[in-house]
Structure 1
Amino acid sequence: MKIVTGGAGFIGSNIVKQLNNRGIDDIFIVDDLTDGRKCRNLQGLSFYDYMDYEDFDMQMADDTFDCGYIDVVFHEGACSDTMNYDGRYMMKNNYEGSKNLLRYCMQRKIPFLYASSASTYGSGKNGFREEPQCEQALNPYAYSKLQFDRFVRRVMPLAKSQIVGFRYFNVFGPQENHKDRMASLIFQKYNELQETGKITLFAGTAGYEDGGQIRDFIYVKDVVNVVFYFWEHPELSGIYNCGTGVGHTFNEFVQGIIDYCGKGHIEYVPFPEVLKGKYQSYTQADTQKLMKAGYDRGFTLLGEAVKEYCSILEKSGGYYE
């Protein structure tokens, strides 16, 4: 059995989709469907069973969960709202729950592959290497992810099975509709263009020109490829960046949307006061550690990925058909 927490979410449902593409459906999905829109992500996916995350967390904490033999856990479940400042909730959901699941896996020697975040690097002023000196959490979400990474580093020497954390950079692609303000720039701006005929971007701030903020955008299909590479190499453990290693400006990124749609223009709006000091204006993964681990499956060129995703947004609203 493969467990996918957050299996009705963005990256989680893409993992399930790729497992299905490989003919695998002995999958146990854990998620929270309070937001019923996520049910749409499960359409067309084949899996063995589903459990609500609160029941799952309780059984993990009590060590009473049992679904038979488990050969891997893909832990994608988390509250990913960087604007949620309820630190107590973030730590309970993203930190305590993850610790309980990790302990469960370590006791049973189950490979544990989990979602970390590039937000753990904060402003990135110290670089984007998987090292403590580069880490600086700017909000409760990032802090909860960073604290779990630190816990992983402490217990990893004791582990007798695989543990891998993936610091996702700016992921975009199908099945992210439910994420609202946390959805990728392409999802938000594609829909803005359809509704208004234009795309708005932040004006320059912190030394960046209008629309000149830089992000390491990575297509969700490439994210799944990275995750599966490590699943297929159980001898590898550690915390790894999951980005392309190439930064692109917001202007470049949304121009691909305009080119695909054949209409629209960019307008710049003032940078919000509420985000000053809490916003990543620049991200670019250092991929040296990933490459040293032998990852050799490459990354989709940004222009090709934007075109493919825009086609899916146009045909099905952003869902797999």
Structure 2
Amino acid sequence: MSYENLNFPEGSKFLVTGVAGFIGSNLVEAILGLGYKVRGLDNLSTGKKENIEEFLNHPLFEFVEGDIRDLDTCMQACEGVDYVLHQAAWGSVPRSIEMPLFYEEVNIKGTLNMMEAARQNRVQKFVYASSSSVYGDEPNLPKKEGIEGNLLSPYAFTKMANEEYGKLYTSLYDLDTYGLRYFNVFGKRQNPDGAYAAVIPKFIIQLLNDEAPTINGDGKQSRDFTYIENVIEANLKACKASSEAAGQAYNIAYGGREYLIDIYNELCKALGKDIKPIYGPHRLGDIKHSNADISKATAMLLYEPEYDFQKGITLAIEWYKKNL
């Protein structure tokens, strides 16, 4: 893995927000593996304590239960920290359409609190999760930074607001911020449960339980599915990036394109199942096709994803079989 050769100054300390979530817990595992200190912050509203259970007694790990909506909590969490990897947020496009005020509170105000706390604590790098949803109804593929359409959901709006604040905090306050526009991340520890669960873990679990999964729409929508290891690489490389690259957002994906129905058929094959899916209505706010141009991240962050969809899905299936 290309991030295993990254060196940070001795005694470096990372703060990972949303640490008990899917991406956050994978980041902690990777950073502890490199031998650096990690403080994790989470209010456990969507994250699960079991995701970080194995790290709780690690000498380099410290867990803080707290909410990013509280500035004092953010200030304390950023104390003595060199790098912030801000993953805490509420996800899901459909849920944001039902709960716009809540998304404003958590995803915009919470992120602003974190940036302000990072600035006041003189954090070196502030890396935060954005999303491919910021491309909205822009039809052209591949998606390229700087060519965005109309936003289609409150969730997408919160991520675009984060990027605008990131720009301002870099230009006004010299805080090096890096926005990572994740494209459909999947992998170990991703939650398969609930109405808003991501499609890959949900399909895997339902097929393992001999249930027929529901595909929203016709199954011909395409996504740039991105394995978790690529996302870890992007976060850590952003911490090493030059200040010239700060104040901007970057596509983080593999740069491939998979159709949902093809993925479903592939999972059936891999799991030895022959189950016909149920087709449901198209989801409001969903983007039909998604595929990333990652050349900017490659040039500015030296991002070189090693895990294509095939490699990633094989590892994900293995993990779910063992752990669920």
The answer for the alignment partner of 1:78 in structure 2 is: 89
The answer for the alignment partner of 2:306 in structure 1 is: 299
User: Which segment is superposed worse, 261-270 or 216-225?
Assistant: 261-270
Quickly say closer, same or farther: Cα 1:91–1:294, change in 2 above 3 A.
Answer: closer
Is 1:245 matched with 2:260? no
Question: C-alpha displacement at 1:5, in angstroms?
Answer: 0.5
Is 1:260 matched with 2:270? yes
Contact 1:247/1:283, CA 8 A, preserved across alignment: yes
Contact 1:197/1:263, CA 8 A, preserved across alignment: no
The answer for the alignment partner of 1:100 in structure 2 is: 113
Quickly say closer, same or farther: Cα 1:56–1:198, change in 2 above 3 A.
Answer: closer
After superposition, residues 1-321 of structure 1 pair within 5 angstroms as 1-24=13-36, 26-34=37-45, 38-45=48-55, 46=58, 47-54=60-67, 57-59=70-72, 65=76, 68-84=79-95, 85-110=98-123, 111-125=125-139, 128-131=143-146, 133-177=147-191, 180-196=194-210, 198-204=212-218, 211-235=219-243, 236-237=245-246, 238-272=248-282, 275-276=283-284, 278-293=285-300, 295-317=302-324
Query: What is the alpha-carbon distance in structure 2 between the residues aligned to residue 179 and residue 78 of structure 1?
Result: 18
User: Matched residue of 1:103: which SS?
Assistant: helix
Query: What is the alpha-carbon distance in structure 2 between the residues aligned to residue 67 and residue 146 of structure 1?
Result: 23
User: Which segment is superposed worse, 46-55 or 98-107?
Assistant: 46-55
Question: C-alpha displacement at 1:171, in angstroms?
Answer: 0.5
Query: What is the alpha-carbon distance in structure 1 between the residues aligned to residue 300 and residue 260 of structure 2?
Result: 30
Question: C-alpha displacement at 1:67, in angstroms?
Answer: 6.4
Question: C-alpha displacement at 1:91, in angstroms?
Answer: 1.1
* TM-score, reference length from structure 2: 0.85
- Which amino acid letter does the alignment assign opposite residue 111 of structure 2? S
User: Matched residue of 1:181: which SS?
Assistant: coil
The answer for the alignment partner of 1:207 in structure 2 is: none
Contact 1:201/1:268, CA 8 A, preserved across alignment: yes
Question: C-alpha displacement at 1:56, in angstroms?
Answer: 7.2
Query: What is the alpha-carbon distance in structure 2 between the residues aligned to residue 234 and residue 69 of structure 1?
Result: 21
Quickly say closer, same or farther: Cα 1:51–1:135, change in 2 above 3 A.
Answer: farther
The answer for the alignment partner of 1:208 in structure 2 is: none
* Structure 1: unaligned runs, 5 residues or longer: 205-210
Quickly say closer, same or farther: Cα 1:292–1:234, change in 2 above 3 A.
Answer: closer
Quickly say closer, same or farther: Cα 1:90–1:55, change in 2 above 3 A.
Answer: closer
Query: What is the alpha-carbon distance in structure 1 between the residues aligned to residue 27 and residue 72 of structure 2?
Result: 24
- Which amino acid letter does the alignment assign opposite residue 299 of structure 2? K
Query: What is the alpha-carbon distance in structure 2 between the residues aligned to residue 250 and residue 83 of structure 1?
Result: 18
User: Matched residue of 1:196: which SS?
Assistant: coil
Query: What is the alpha-carbon distance in structure 2 between the residues aligned to residue 66 and residue 134 of structure 1?
Result: 34
* Structure 2: unaligned runs, 5 residues or longer: 1-12
Query: What is the alpha-carbon distance in structure 2 between the residues aligned to residue 66 and residue 280 of structure 1?
Result: 35
Query: What is the alpha-carbon distance in structure 2 between the residues aligned to residue 108 and residue 32 of structure 1?
Result: 21
Deviations, residues 4-33 of structure 1 (Å, cap 9, x unaligned): 100000101110010121122x21111122
* TM-score, reference length from structure 1: 0.86
Quickly say closer, same or farther: Cα 1:212–1:55, change in 2 above 3 A.
Answer: closer
Aligned-pair identity in percent equals: 23
RMSD of aligned Cα (Å): 2.3
Q: How many aligned residue pairs are there?
A: 303
